[in-house]
Amino acid sequence: MKIISGNANTALAREICGFLGEPLCDATVTSFPDGETFVKINENIRGRDVFIIQPTCPPTNQNLMELLILVDAARRASAARTTAVIPFFGYARQDRKDQPRVPITAKLVANLLVAAGVNRVLTMDLHAQQLQGFFDIPVDHLYALPVMLKYLKSLTGDDLVVVSPDVGGVKMASAYAQALNAGLAIVVKRRITASEIQPITIIGDVEGRDVIIVDDIVETAGTLVGAAQLLREQGARNIYAGVSHAVLTDLGIERLSGSAIKELITTNSVPTRASSGGNITALSVAQLLGEGIRRIHDDESVSSLFDIKN
């Protein structure tokens, strides 16, 4: 086994290596003065099982190109198999033509990864699970729920409601509600712009109860903050948010700091910004991803890691 990391989240890569008891492969990943990416793998990887850890978080295009070039370098160095470990899969929301003359960028990225030489993908909490079908290679899709479950249970009592911030997130919220033995509610919203939403109503009873809003990704936090405000107006007691990937912008951090959300619980699938404030808790997914890597390397089943009810 050889584990290589790009520059997107080296801290997570080191944690994964620590869990597996494997050293991080020596690789140079830098840029030329004109911005072009330069990669050199400084160890022999001929015939090795190579895992390249690189979430495609902001700067998305830079990190994606680093991943593609690392994969090409591994292929040309005669690696036996190359697995792209993508804790956060960027461009996943562009998965269909919802307007005339727009691309399906998620499929394009899948094609690029396969063309570069990826043999297998290991990822976590895709925005849409059907993205697995965009690949003609195996995709192992893990869930952050097992990592977040214990912490979420420590925050709240028995009188808990899990809230989906929109209709599309009901399946994920339902899995959390079942695992936490909690109630379920849904926020009905209307999107105004890419960064602004208008919550309309809540389906379900939240009055006097602790609530956890669950989602797969937060950027500008418009959906979360709008949902939290509506929940507060409907009498919710303590409001928490559980989000797999916190790809926060400055606007998102500002909105969260002044919102009704008591704490945002997320993972370290992407680097958590130091300026994010004290109400954000990032849980490590190094053990989850590390176990997935170990099982892939040993040709063992990873189906138990797929189980969202775990």
pLDDT at residue 310 greater than cutoff 60:
no
pLDDT at residue 184 greater than cutoff 60:
yes
The lowest-confidence range among 22-31, 168-177, 190-199 is: 190-199
What φ, ψ does residue 69 adopt, rounded to 5°?
-70, -35
pLDDT at residue 292 greater than cutoff 70:
yes
Cβ contact 37:65 at 8 Å = yes
pLDDT at residue 195 greater than cutoff 90:
no
Q: What per-residue confidence (pLDDT) applies to 258?
A: 84
**Average pLDDT for 157-161:** 82
Cα-Cα-Cα-Cα dihedral sign, residues 38, 41, 46, 50: negative
**Starting from the edge strand earliest in sequence, which strands make up the sheet with 280-283, in order?**
196-203, 183-193, 160-164, 210-218, 239-246, 263-267, 280-283
The band of 192, judged by pLDDT with boundaries at 50, 70 and 90, is low
The overall average pLDDT reported for the chain is 90
Cα separation, 230 vs 169, whole angstroms: 17
**Average pLDDT for 240-265:** 91
Q: What per-residue confidence (pLDDT) applies to 199?
A: 65
**Average pLDDT for 154-178:** 86
- Mind giving me the DSSP string for 246-290? E---HHHHHHHHTSS-SEEEEETTSPPPGGG-TTEEEE--HHHHH
Cβ contact 63:90 at 8 Å = yes
**Average pLDDT for 172-191:** 88
Cα angle 269, 118, 46 (rounded to 5 degrees) comes to: 105
pLDDT at residue 157 greater than cutoff 90:
no
The band of 2, judged by pLDDT with boundaries at 50, 70 and 90, is very high
Q: What per-residue confidence (pLDDT) applies to 202?
A: 86
Query: What DSSP designation does 131 have?
Result: G
The band of 10, judged by pLDDT with boundaries at 50, 70 and 90, is very high
Which residue's entry shows tokens 């960027």? 90
Cβ contact 195:255 at 8 Å = no
Q: What is the pLDDT of residues 99-117, one digit of tens each?
A: 899 999 999 999 999 999 9
Which residue's entry shows tokens 């005339």? 100
Catalytic residue at 189? yes
Q: What per-residue confidence (pLDDT) applies to 291?
A: 96
Q: Which domains does the chain have, with CATH numbers?
A: 2-143+287-306 (3.40.50.2020), 145-284 (3.40.50.2020)
- Answer with the residue of higher pLDDT: 57 or 199: 57
**Average pLDDT for 175-184:** 91
Q: What per-residue confidence (pLDDT) applies to 194?
A: 61
Q: Of 40, 107, 150, 189, which one is the catalytic site residue?
A: 189
Cβ contact 200:189 at 8 Å = yes
Structure tokens at 244: 């797999």
User: Alpha carbon 3 to chain centroid distance?
Assistant: 20
Q: What is the pLDDT of residues 48-74, one digit of tens each?
A: 999 999 999 999 999 999 999 999 999
Cα separation, 150 vs 166, whole angstroms: 24
Which residue's entry shows tokens 């912008």? 249
Q: What is the pLDDT of residues 16-54, one digit of tens each?
A: 999 999 999 999 999 999 999 999 999 999 999 999 999
